Each structure stands twice: as C-alpha cells, then as structure tokens.
Structure 1
Amino acid sequence: MNRTTRFTRLVAFAAVAGLALTACGNGDSDTDADGGAVTGGDASGETLSVWIMEGTNPDPTDFFDEVSEAFEEQTGAELDIQFVPWASAHDQFTNAIAGGTGPDVAEVGTTWTPEFGDAGALADLSDRIEGAELNDEYVPAMMEAATLEDAVYGAPWYAGVRSLIYRTDIFEEAGVEPPTTWDDLVEVGTTLKEHDEDLIPFPIPASVHTTTPFIWGAGGEVASEEDGTWTSGLDSAESVEGLTFLESLVSEHDLSTPAASTWNEADTRDAFARGEAAMIISGSWTPKSIIEANDELEGDLGVVPIPGKDGGMAPSFVGGSHLGVFETAENQDLAWTFVQMMTTGEFAEKWGEQTGFFPGTNELLTQLEEADDPLVAPFAQQMRDAGATLPVTPQWGQVEGAQILPAMMQSILGGSGSVQEAADTAASEMNEIFGQ
C-alpha cells in the first residue's frame, strides 16, 4: 500500500470519526529508515510521546523510569509516557486520529492493529523488522495479527494465551490424569463426576476463547479470506463438529451446566479456586493470580496445553499488544528505536516478569519453556507451537462489538436451537458485517 493510498484512508477514517463524534533486538542498537542497525542518530532535545495501556503492569513507574534512562542514554531523547485506560482507549485512539493528535508510539491491542493500520494511522514496520532481522524472531501468531496486505502495523510486545488449568488435588483424589484428546476429556470428566456428583468437571462459558479451540481443533475456521473478501466459517461441517462436541459436554456428558454459559472469566476462575470446578480453559496469568489470592492452593494447580481432537494441541488465541508507530510521528527512526528496545531483550523480558504475560519473541518464549516451571512452560509451549489469531480484518472489531460468537454459544449451550441453526445465524450476521 503506497503512502498516497494510506493518506487517503487516514483522511477518510478521520472524517468518519468526526461524524461519529458529532453524532454522539535489545537496547543496544538504533536503526536507519530501512531498519538496518546504526550507531548514530543523536536525538538530544527531542521528546518521544508514548501511550501505554493502564493496568497491565500494576506498578509500571520503576519500569518506565529505567526504560527512560536507558533510552535517553542511547538516543539523547526523552520519553513522555502517558497511561490510557483500556475501557476508553479505542475512543481515544479514534479521536486522536481524527484530530491528528496521536502520539509517536502507542500500545495497540492485537485485534485493533489491523483497524488502525487500514485507516492509515500506523506506519508499516515491515522494512524495519526485516532490517533488524526480527521476522523469524517475533512470535508468528502475533506477527500475523499485525499483518494486513503484506504491511506490518505493529511489533509484537507481549501476549497471553489460554491453556487447560486443572486442580491436581482433585485429580489425585479421583485417580485421573489430565486429558490429551477429546475422548480423554470426556472420560476424565466422567470419572471426576462419578467421584463427586456436585463437581463441575469442565465448565463451559459462552466465551470466544473457550469456543475457538474446539472450532480450530476440529479443522474449522472462524472466518477465512480469499481475494480480499472475508467469509465466516462458523457454519462449516468442521466448525459445527467442534461446536457439537462442546454442546455434548453439557447435554450428553453432564460435564458442565447451562448456568456456566453465563459466567465471565472471573466467575469461572473463582469456581475453580473454590474447588467447585476441576478443569478450566484460562489464561497464562491465571495461576499466579489464583495462588496470590488463595495461598493454600500452592501446589494444587496444574497446566497442560488444550488437547487436540486426536492428540497434540488445539490452537488457542494469542491476544495481547503490539507497539505501533504513528504515521504522524516526526522522527520514525527514533520511534522504531524505542519499539525495538521494548519488544526484544532485557526490557521485554522484565515486562513479562512483572505483568505475568509472555514476551513476543520466540527466544524468550523458549527460555520460559526450558525453565520447566509447571505453571508457565505449558502456556509457553501452547503460544509458540499452537497459537492462533482471530480474523485479521479491520471489520473484526464490529464482529466483537456485536457479540456474535458469545450469542451463538449462549444459544447452543442453552438448548434454544440446534448447533447448525445457531452456527448458520452467527455466520450470516458475521458475513453481513464483512460485506459492508
């Protein structure tokens, strides 16, 4: 996409946003314009403005003090770090793009990156990433989430992934091992239920991140793109097979309960912590938070990758944040220096340690996997070897906003219609958005 086309899209995006408002490496290298490593480029007297999402790191002050010191020592420039609440971030981005008041660099949620990139707000980093020899170093799923029409609109910073967390104490009492296939999941869950009839072996909330591993695990797709056109795959035979399996865990095998379809992530986690549920699909940050709130559970948690249909791993959504450089940044070389410093090496590793999320590089993921922490390594393996992305299209935000997948699962788990009927309805709604 050339700069003229991108500028046109930026103007169009700004106009739409204005109408909406009316209606309602490491730290040791710099890079040149092509991404190659250089050692010069004194930016003394300059200030780089950066937006970071609030709350990911409970106390980021010391971290960014250290980053700012290292950045100024390397470049001579100062950092102006501003924290933006997640809840209002999308609107703040939209308003800033419309008014031309965006920062130089911003943390952008992975499902937002294509939208802002397509609007022309974010710079294409593909040449810089290639010049820094980071194409094969960044985690593939996160690179895919940032790529639109061969342009890369964000560098992978950090992410989380979901795997199967189980109560080792409950499993030991029932004499079962964690499942490695879908048949195992049924067998283990049935044994757990027989051992304790009040237990919910595997609660199934109507969430995207519990649903998609079974769609992907059966060979289905949420949506696919051909010749620039996206089409829902929820109504395919493969996707319906995965959805039917999930439905059977409630209606046929009694491993979940219809009430669990209304649970959010906190509800699911709390039921698990209380011992009311034995297995849950939850995030890489979950074990730490459970143990911090319930120290008596130290040693009673286990993690395995989400089992594939016949073995191996079912794909799991990798979600987190990219760091994007705004097209309006006056010094994009300086901005890229900051992005590379944050997404590779020492500072990427420290951010991961402090937040409980994973860095966006294969090298650091491998280190976590090889460290053999039983509550960390399986998540790292899942993210590196079976990480997946949701459709990389600017229209995905509208699909999320319409809650199409959760509504479909509510219908399926509540028994208000057949799996195929619910999938057909969801696919039709999704295709309507894609066709706009």
Structure 2
Amino acid sequence: MKRGLTAAVCVAAMTAGIAGCGADGGGEEAAAREITVWLTVDAQKNWPELVKQADEAFAARHKGVKVKHEYFEWTAKNQKLDAVLATDEVPDVVEMGNSETLGYLAKGAFAEIDPSHFENSEQWLDALRESVTWNGKLYGVPYYAGARTATWRTDIAEEVGVDEPPADWKELTAALDKIQKKKGDKFSAWYQPTRDWYTGMAFVKDAGGDIAELEGGKWTAGLSSPESVKGLKNWKAVIDKYMHGDKNKDDADRYIVYGQGGSAMIYANSWEGATAADPKFDKTGGKLAENLESFALPGTKGGLMPNFIGGSDLVIPAKSDARDMAADWIKGFTDTKAQRGLIEKGNLPNAKSLLAPLADDPETAAAARANENTWFVPMAPGWLQVEKKQVLQNMLNDIAVGKKSVEAAAKDADAQINAVINGG
C-alpha cells in the first residue's frame, strides 16, 4: 500500500471593470490608506504564509497603504456581508464560495473586473469562471478549486488485512465492515458529519436524483423523487453503520476530529487529511503523517462517487472606494506563484494549465481523478436562500438522528426549496 498522503484537489470562480492592476492607484490611493480583505478561516489556519506573501507584494507597490484582514467561518460570513452591503462601510475584497455568488450578482453587489489584468485568466476553470459571470460580464476572480477525496489510515486498514485502496463500493464497505468490527462501536470506521450536505447530495446524485431541476423556465425541487430517496437511504446506511461520533455536528472541524484518532476514514476536502496530520492536530503520536492514503471515493453503482465542484472566488463590492487597489491585491494573491503554494496545501488551482500536471503526480492524482465525475448546485436565482436557510443540512441531520424518515424529511425539504429557489 502506498505510504504518505495522496494530496487532494479542490474547485471554484466569477467578474467586473476594474482599472489596471499594479498601478499606483492615483487619487484612489490618496483617499484610501487601508484596504479591508475578508477571507474565510481556511486561509488563516492553513495558508497564512500565502496571505502574507500577497500583502508584502501589495505593500511594495502601494507605499503606506495597509491591508486589514478579517476572517470568517463559512456559516457566518454571508450574514455579515448582507448587513454591511446595506451601508457604505463595505470591505474591499471578499472571499465567496462558488455556490454563493449568484444571488449577489443578480443584485449588482459586486464590481465588474477586467480578466486581462489577472495571470492565467484565459485558463481559468470553467466552473469557477461561470460562478462569477453574469449577463456575459465578469465580477470576480477564481481563487482555488477543490475536490473531495476519501482519506484513510493505512495502518488501520492493514490491521484487518487490507493493503490496497478499494477499487469499488463493495471493496470499500467490506474493508469498513472489518475495521468497524475490530475497533468497536465507539470508533468511527468512517467519520462523516451528518450536516455535510456536499456528501449527502453526492449520494443523491450517485443514485440518479437531484436537488432541483429546471423545467419550462421554473426550478422544482427533486429530493423526494424515488432516485433521490434511494441516494439518501444509501447515505443513511453509511451513517448508521460507520459514524459513531456526534450526529449533530457539521464538518467545520472534521480534520481536527480526525486528528484525534477515533476514526479510520473521512471523505473531505483534499487538504483535510494533510491538515489533520499537522503536529498541531495529530493526537495519535505522529501516526497520521506516515499512514494516510487518499483515493477517489467509489460510487455505490460503479464508477466514482459524483464529486462536488467546490471552490472560492474573490470579489470586490461595488461600493468599495478602493476597487483598483483591491484588484491589485487579488492579482498578487492569485498569480502562478500563489497558486502553486495552494497546490502544495492540497488544493486545486484556478487554471486548467496548472491543473493538468496534477493527474500525473502520485501526490495529487487522487484529487485529479475525483473530479472526473462532478456535480454542482442548481444555478437558480434563489439558491443562496436555500443555503442560508440550511435546508439541506437540517434535512440530513433530521434523517441521521431519526427525527424524520427519509421520505418525510425529503418532502419537507422540497417544500422549503420550492418556496425560495425561483427567487421568492
């Protein structure tokens, strides 16, 4: 069995008419002596050196202009953003998940950018570029992309006689069954937070279902379809058999929980396994670093589990009075040097030209392969409301803890989705 973590891969993107980056800022700089950059805690915890690198490059071009950073958990960021967008005190750069942008674009919240000012823009990943495109114009810059891969402990797999990653769902569940039996019911053969909707919906897609479909110009929820219900039941079977942690948790601290040593496998963002092995989080006495292996998760019907094309974009609020300087900071934070730094952290880059070599590298092949079968959220006007209301998270949690049957939970979720997905 291959030793060492097979690094995973991530995916995301968006546009606006900002002036040339790298200029001195002119009158803008005279008025603004500070720009504010909002990023999620992923950057703060996992690649702070890349933020510092961008700050230093920016400082060299804009003497005396400070960069103020604020970091947010994903669940809290948009509530704060909604509040400040109603005022004139807006940040100058904001990280957005690629599934979050559509509602803001429709409302004109972000400034248009000129892609020619950003390195590799002609090679940006289609899914990321699309997430920041509105009416043919660009309102954001792809930051990084992500794939989700399975990562398990080879030492635990070898304890039950498994020395190769599973080739299909049958091999995977056979191995997990052996691990679960050997380790007992206080151990999670597969630690899977129930509120992780990206995984729950991957099972739905795997079974031929969908969150919602567009018919006749109208979006209609589809979680209660026979195919979607089958996928949700497949997901619940995993939770019931292998997940023996807190069934009310989300996935925000999954890598921390994994580092504590109470589970054999996670299905997560590609960087999470490597982060769990960091000495700050590894509570196994150093066993993780030498005993992690990543692989593309098999699907239940053959082939690969559909992989959510996730990722982040960087946008500039239209109300910012430092849009040129904001664009210049983004330019330094998304150039080839920065993208290579993100690759080293287990992320997928924002450009096809940087992504291609990863499939041939044993350390990144799992993440690259995971993206051979992908899915994305409905690009519907009200999708952001579905996310804000945590409809999918709550449905999955209700199913996992037995509060509702799969059928009842799916029917209730469909009603909530239909109420908002078309922009209502």
In the TM superposition, what are the counterparts of 1:325-340 in structure 2 within 5 Å?
Answer: 325-329=316-320, 336-340=327-331
Q: Secondary structure at the match of 1:278?
A: strand
Give me the TM-score of the superposition, normalised by structure 1.
0.76
Residue 169 of structure 1 aligns with an amino acid whose one-letter code is: D
Q: 1:105 to 1:226 in 2, by over 3 A?
A: farther
Give the structure 2 partner of residue 343 of structure 1. Answer: 334
Give the structure 1 partner of residue 293 of structure 2. Answer: 302
Match of 2:249 among 259, 263, 267: 263
Give the structure 1 partner of residue 220 of structure 2. Answer: 231
Is 1:412 matched up with 2:399? yes
Give the structure 2 partner of residue 316 of structure 1. Answer: 307
Where relative contact order (Cα < 8 A, 6+ residues apart) is larger, the structure is 2
How far is the alpha carbon of 1:168 from its aligned partner? 0.7
What is the rounded CA distance, in whole Å, between the counterparts of 1:271 and 1:430 in structure 2? 31
| Preserved CA contact (<8 Å) 2:40 2:71 | yes
What is the rounded CA distance, in whole Å, between the counterparts of 1:216 and 1:40 in structure 2? 44
1:85-128: per-residue Cα shift (whole Å, max 9, x none)?
Answer: 31554344323322233344433333332232222111344xx3
| Preserved CA contact (<8 Å) 2:36 2:92 | yes
How many residues get paired?
A: 393
What is the rounded CA distance, in whole Å, between the counterparts of 2:243 and 2:143 in structure 1? 35
How far is the alpha carbon of 1:169 from its aligned partner? 0.9
Give the structure 1 partner of residue 125 of structure 2. Answer: 139
Give me the TM-score of the superposition, normalised by structure 2.
0.77
1:227-266: per-residue Cα shift (whole Å, max 9, x none)?
Answer: 5533222122222221121223356xx3345x65323336
Larger Rg: 1
What is the rounded CA distance, in whole Å, between the counterparts of 2:248 and 2:68 in structure 1? 36
Give the structure 2 partner of residue 278 of structure 1. Answer: 264
Give the structure 2 partner of residue 214 of structure 1. Answer: 203
Residue 365 of structure 1 aligns with an amino acid whose one-letter code is: L
Q: 1:270 to 1:91 in 2, by over 3 A?
A: closer
What is the rounded CA distance, in whole Å, between the counterparts of 1:267 and 1:341 in structure 2? 29
| Preserved CA contact (<8 Å) 1:408 1:426 | yes
Identity %: 28
Residue 301 of structure 1 aligns with an amino acid whose one-letter code is: L
Give the structure 1 partner of residue 110 of structure 2. Answer: 122
What is the rounded CA distance, in whole Å, between the counterparts of 1:109 and 1:324 in structure 2? 10
Q: 1:33 to 1:227 in 2, by over 3 A?
A: same
Moved more, 330-339 or 100-109: 330-339
What is the rounded CA distance, in whole Å, between the counterparts of 1:63 and 1:142 in structure 2? 20
Is 1:362 matched up with 2:349? no
Q: 1:185 to 1:334 in 2, by over 3 A?
A: same
Is 1:425 matched up with 2:412? yes
| Preserved CA contact (<8 Å) 2:25 2:324 | no
Residue 290 of structure 1 aligns with an amino acid whose one-letter code is: A
Residue 178 of structure 2 aligns with an amino acid whose one-letter code is: T
| Preserved CA contact (<8 Å) 1:141 1:387 | no
Stretches of structure 2 that go unaligned for 5 or more consecutive residues are 1-15
Q: 1:103 to 1:275 in 2, by over 3 A?
A: closer
Residue 379 of structure 2 aligns with an amino acid whose one-letter code is: V
Give the structure 1 partner of residue 5 of structure 2. Answer: none
Moved more, 128-137 or 100-109: 128-137
Match of 2:234 among 238, 245, 249: 245
Give the structure 1 partner of residue 96 of structure 2. Answer: 108
Match of 2:38 among 26, 49, 52: 52
| Preserved CA contact (<8 Å) 1:180 1:312 | no
How far is the alpha carbon of 1:284 from its aligned partner? 1.9
How far is the alpha carbon of 1:368 from its aligned partner? 4.1
How far is the alpha carbon of 1:84 from its aligned partner? 1.9
Residue 348 of structure 1 aligns with an amino acid whose one-letter code is: Q
What is the rounded CA distance, in whole Å, between the counterparts of 1:39 and 1:123 in structure 2? 14
Q: What is the aligned-residue RMSD (CA, Å)?
A: 3.6
Q: 1:130 to 1:427 in 2, by over 3 A?
A: farther
What is the rounded CA distance, in whole Å, between the counterparts of 1:276 and 1:39 in structure 2? 48
Q: 1:71 to 1:272 in 2, by over 3 A?
A: closer
Match of 1:166 among 142, 152, 155: 152
Stretches of structure 1 that go unaligned for 5 or more consecutive residues are 1-31
Q: Secondary structure at the match of 2:143?
A: strand
Q: 1:91 to 1:84 in 2, by over 3 A?
A: farther
Q: Secondary structure at the match of 2:142?
A: strand
Q: 1:359 to 1:81 in 2, by over 3 A?
A: farther
1:290-320: per-residue Cα shift (whole Å, max 9, x none)?
Answer: 2113223221111111212333322233444
Q: 1:337 to 1:388 in 2, by over 3 A?
A: farther
Residue 153 of structure 1 aligns with an amino acid whose one-letter code is: Y
Q: Secondary structure at the match of 2:386?
A: helix
What is the rounded CA distance, in whole Å, between the counterparts of 2:28 and 2:269 in structure 1? 39
Give the structure 2 partner of residue 27 of structure 1. Answer: none
Residue 372 of structure 1 aligns with an amino acid whose one-letter code is: P
Give the structure 1 partner of residue 85 of structure 2. Answer: 97
Match of 1:179 among 150, 159, 166: 166
Higher relative helix content: 1
Q: 1:57 to 1:276 in 2, by over 3 A?
A: closer
